[in-house]
Structure 1
C-alpha cells in the first residue's frame, strides 16, 4: 500500500537562507544510509524530503532512514500523482479514496477512533484545510459505518491528507528519528574511543549534532589482548551505522606507560597517561583536520574524572574537548548505549590500557603544577612522536 516515505526534520527548518545546504546534505546522507539495500529516489518537494519505496517494504526502509541524524520522524505514505489534465475536484476525490484505503488498513489493525487533519497545498481548491478535514471525515464515516468512531481530542489514529498541485498524499504513522543535524554540517572531531560504555555514546551524541567523527584507540599490546582491539573495531562498526565510515587510529601506549612507571610517582600514572592520550589525539586530530576532541568523561565517575583531573587533562591540549556525558548519570548513559546497540559489545570483559597499569591509589585531586613537574623527567616529545610513528590505521564500515 505505502509507496513513499515522508522525512520530517526539526532544526533544519529554521536555518533560513542556509536551509538548502542542510537539506541537500540530509538527502545525500539518506541515500548513503540506504545504499546497502538499493539505490532509492530521494528528493525534495514542497519543502519536504521524500523517499520513493519502489518494491521495498516500508518497515525495512523506515528502520534505516530514521537513523540518519537531522530527522525527527519518518512517515510511510501513499502518494498518488495528479494527471496534467485532471482538475482539482478529481484530484480531491482521489485524495478521499486514498484516505479510505489508509483508514481501512488501520481498522484492520484494531484502531477504534480517528480524526482527519488536512492541508490544502493547491490554493485553487474551493475548501479550506479545516473544511477539507470535515468533508473527508464525513466521507470516511459514510464508507466504514460503525467500524470506527471519530474522536478529535484523543484519536488512536490520525489520517493526514494533503492536496498538492502535482499529487495527493495520505499518511498516518510517524516513526520517531533521532533528531540533531546532518553529518558533515558542523566540522569534524577526533573521538578517544575505548572499549567501554561511555566513549561510544559520547561519539554518537556529538555526531548527532552534525560533526563528522574519526576515532583513536589506545592499547598496550601484548599486555592487552588482540580481542580487546577487535572489540573496539566492533564498536566502531556499530557507530558506522549512524556516522558513516569510521577511520580508526590505533596507538600502542606501552612504551609511554613504561616510562611513566619508571620516572613518575605511582599514583600519577593514570592522570599522566591520560595527558599523553590527549596530546596524541590532538596531534593526530590536527593532521586529520579535526576541529575538536571527544571524550566519554562524566564528572566524578572515576579517579581521573574529578574536576581537578579534568583540569589537568584539559591543560595538555589546545583543541576544544567535547564531553557530552559530563553531567549524566551512568544509568542515563547505559540507556543510550542500549538504544544505539553498543551496550552489549561494551560490557564484554576485556582489559584496556588504563586498567592494566592502574595504580592502587590513584591521585584524585592532582595539582597541575605538580603533574607538569613530574613530566619533566620524561622526554614527552619523543614518546609522542614514537607512538604516532607506529600508529596503525583502519577504516571501519558497517
Structure 2
C-alpha cells in the first residue's frame, strides 16, 4: 500500500538550456558548475540546497516564490517548475487520487493534458499513467492533447512521483562566465543596454565604458542603467563601469574638424578609449548597440570606418533589429523605464553628418586631433564597482525638474530652425554654444529653466550655470515630452 500523498512546496525542478546538453561531457560539466554557481549567487540570502539530478537541477527552498523570481534572471536556465505534490511509492491509484485532489479546480473549465516522464523510479507504464490520471480530471476540464491550456506533468523518480502543473521560462542562453569578457560602450540608451544583455546571455562577462559628454546628470542616468543590469542579470559576475570624461576630447574635435565627420570620428575615439580599458580587463571584444541603418552613422561604410579604430572585434548583437523590437526587449529585461529618461547627446553638430564615409578620409581627419587628450582622459577614467554602491550614489543630481516654476525664465537650447518649428511660448532661443558663452552675463537673481531637443544639452548647461552660482535647472526629457505636456494643458 502506498504512503499518503504529501504536499511538497519546497522543491523546484530547474531545466538548463538544451544547448548545454550538446556539449562534450567535460564542457557540459563545466557549464553546469558555472550555472550552479550563478544560481547560488542569485539566491544569496535565501536558504536553499541545489543538487544535480541527471540533466537537470533540483532546488530545495522554503521561499519558492522569491527563488522563482531569481531563476527568471539567471542565464542558462531554460525553464523551471515548482513541484506541487509528491507521492511516495506511487501506483496508478495513488496518482489518480493525488491528481483529483490537487488539480480538479486547476483544470476546471479549461483544456488540459497529462504528461508522464520517467527519471528512474517505479516501472509504471507512462502511457497508462497518462490515461488513468487524465480520466479523473475529465469533466471539470476537457482533454486536449494538442494545445492544452494546462499541462499536468508527472515525473517518476527514485524519490517518488512529482506532480506539477506550472512551467516558468528562464532567460535561456548560456551561463554567464562560460566565455571570456567584453566591454560594452554604454550610452545609457535603449540600444546599448539591450546589447549588453544579449552579450551576457551568451555567457560573456560584460564591463561598461561610458564616455561622458553630458555631465553629472547624464552619468547618473547611465550609472542607474548599468547598476540595474549588474544587480538583476550579472549573477556570479562582478562588472565594472568606467567613466571617461570626453568633454575635452569633444571640444578639441569640434575646434579642429568639420562637423560632417564628427559622429564617425567620435565613435572611433570612443572605441579607442574602450579598447585600452578592455585590454586592462583582459577582455576579448567591444560591444555596441548599433543597428544597421538606424541612424546616419550606422551605415555599412561608416561602421567599416569605425571598426578600423580598434584591433579588437566589435560585436553588434542588435545589428538586424528594428527599433520596436529593441524597445520591447528593453521592457522585458527591465531597463526601459531608466533608459527612457536617458537622451542621446543632442546638437553635436548643426552640419549634416556623413552617411557614407571613406576610411582613409576619416583616419586623416582624426590624425589632426590632439591624441594626448584622449590618452589623458582614459588614464583618468574612474572605475565603479556596480555591485558595491550605496543608494546615495544612485540618487539623481539636483539639476532636473519636471515642471516649470511660474517665475522662471525659460531658455530654449534648440538649433534656430528647430526653435522655429516649435517652442514653448515665451521661451528665448539660445543654442548651447551661445548660452555657454553668454550665461555669466545674466542677472544672478533669477531662476532659469533650460530645455533642448532631446534633453541632453540642457542638463550639462544647467550644471555649468549652477557651478557658477546661478539658480538653474533643466527640464526633464526633450522637446517632444514638453510639447505633449503643453498641448494637453491647452486642449
- Asked if TM exceeds 0.5, the reply is yes
State the TM-score, normalized to the length of structure 2: 0.72
Q: Does 1:251 align with 2:244?
A: yes
Per-residue Cα deviation, 1:11-31 (whole angstroms, up to 9, x for no partner): 112223121111111111111
Task: Tell me, in whole angstroms, the C-alpha distance in 2 between the residues paired with 1:96 and 1:21.
Answer: 40
Query: 5+ unaligned residues in a row in structure 2: which ranges?
Result: 1-6, 390-491
TM-aligned CA deviation for residue 116 of structure 1: 1.6
Contact 1:228 1:351 in 2 (8 A): no
Counterpart selection for 1:366 from 341, 357, 374:
357
Counterpart selection for 2:68 from 44, 50, 62:
62
When Rg is computed on C-alpha atoms for both structures, the one with the higher figure is 2
Name the stretch that deviates more: 169-178 or 116-125.
116-125
Q: How many pairs align?
A: 376
Name the stretch that deviates more: 128-137 or 334-343.
128-137
Task: Tell me, in whole angstroms, the C-alpha distance in 2 between the residues paired with 1:123 and 1:32.
Answer: 32
Counterpart selection for 2:273 from 257, 263, 280:
280
Task: Tell me, in whole angstroms, the C-alpha distance in 1 between the residues paired with 2:317 and 2:30.
Answer: 26
Q: CA 1:154–1:308 in 2, change beyond 3 Å: closer, same or farther?
A: closer
**Aligned residue in 2 for 1:228:** 218
**Aligned residue in 2 for 1:29:** 38
Q: CA 1:97–1:122 in 2, change beyond 3 Å: closer, same or farther?
A: farther
Task: Tell me, in whole angstroms, the C-alpha distance in 1 between the residues paired with 2:110 and 2:14.
Answer: 27
**Aligned residue in 2 for 1:131:** 128
Contact 2:47 2:61 in 1 (8 A): no
SS of corresponding position for 1:237:
helix
**Aligned residue in 1 for 2:295:** 302
Q: Does 1:44 align with 2:37?
A: no
Task: Tell me, in whole angstroms, the C-alpha distance in 1 between the residues paired with 2:349 and 2:74.
Answer: 39
TM-aligned CA deviation for residue 105 of structure 1: 5.0
Counterpart selection for 2:61 from 53, 59, 80:
53
Contact 1:92 1:163 in 2 (8 A): no
Counterpart selection for 1:214 from 203, 207, 212:
207
Task: Tell me, in whole angstroms, the C-alpha distance in 2 between the residues paired with 1:179 and 1:356.
Answer: 40
SS of corresponding position for 2:208:
strand
SS of corresponding position for 1:64:
helix
TM-aligned CA deviation for residue 92 of structure 1: 6.1
Per-residue Cα deviation, 1:336-375 (whole angstroms, up to 9, x for no partner): 01111211211215453xx353342222212111111122
**Aligned residue in 2 for 1:238:** 228
Task: Tell me, in whole angstroms, the C-alpha distance in 2 between the residues paired with 1:326 and 1:149.
Answer: 45
| 1:1-398 superposed matches below 5 A | 2-9=9-16, 10-17=18-25, 18-36=27-45, 38-54=46-62, 56=63, 58-78=64-84, 80=86, 82=88, 88=89, 90=90, 95-104=95-104, 106-107=106-107, 110-122=108-120, 125=123, 127-138=124-135, 140-141=136-137, 146-220=139-213, 224-240=214-230, 241-244=232-235, 245-348=238-341, 350=343, 352=345, 355=346, 357-380=348-371, 382-397=372-387
State the TM-score, normalized to the length of structure 1: 0.88
SS of corresponding position for 2:83:
strand
Contact 2:112 2:152 in 1 (8 A): yes
**Aligned residue in 1 for 2:437:** none
Query: 5+ unaligned residues in a row in structure 1: which ranges?
Result: 83-87
Per-residue Cα deviation, 1:125-171 (whole angstroms, up to 9, x for no partner): 2x322122223334x34xxx743343333433221112212332111
Higher relative CO (Cα under 8 Å, sequence separation at least 6) belongs to 1
Task: Tell me, in whole angstroms, the C-alpha distance in 2 between the residues paired with 1:359 and 1:42.
Answer: 58
Per-residue Cα deviation, 1:14-62 (whole angstroms, up to 9, x for no partner): 22312111111111111111215x13212211321121132x2x33322
Contact 1:237 1:246 in 2 (8 A): no
Contact 1:275 1:316 in 2 (8 A): yes
Contact 1:7 1:75 in 2 (8 A): yes
Contact 2:84 2:163 in 1 (8 A): yes
Task: Tell me, in whole angstroms, the C-alpha distance in 2 between the residues paired with 1:210 and 1:47.
Answer: 19
TM-aligned CA deviation for residue 395 of structure 1: 1.2
Task: Tell me, in whole angstroms, the C-alpha distance in 2 between the residues paired with 1:96 and 1:282.
Answer: 62
SS of corresponding position for 1:13:
helix
TM-aligned CA deviation for residue 96 of structure 1: 4.5
Task: Tell me, in whole angstroms, the C-alpha distance in 2 between the residues paired with 1:151 and 1:73.
Answer: 23
TM-aligned CA deviation for residue 238 of structure 1: 1.7
TM-aligned CA deviation for residue 329 of structure 1: 0.9
SS of corresponding position for 1:147:
coil
TM-aligned CA deviation for residue 81 of structure 1: 7.9
Q: CA 1:357–1:112 in 2, change beyond 3 Å: closer, same or farther?
A: closer
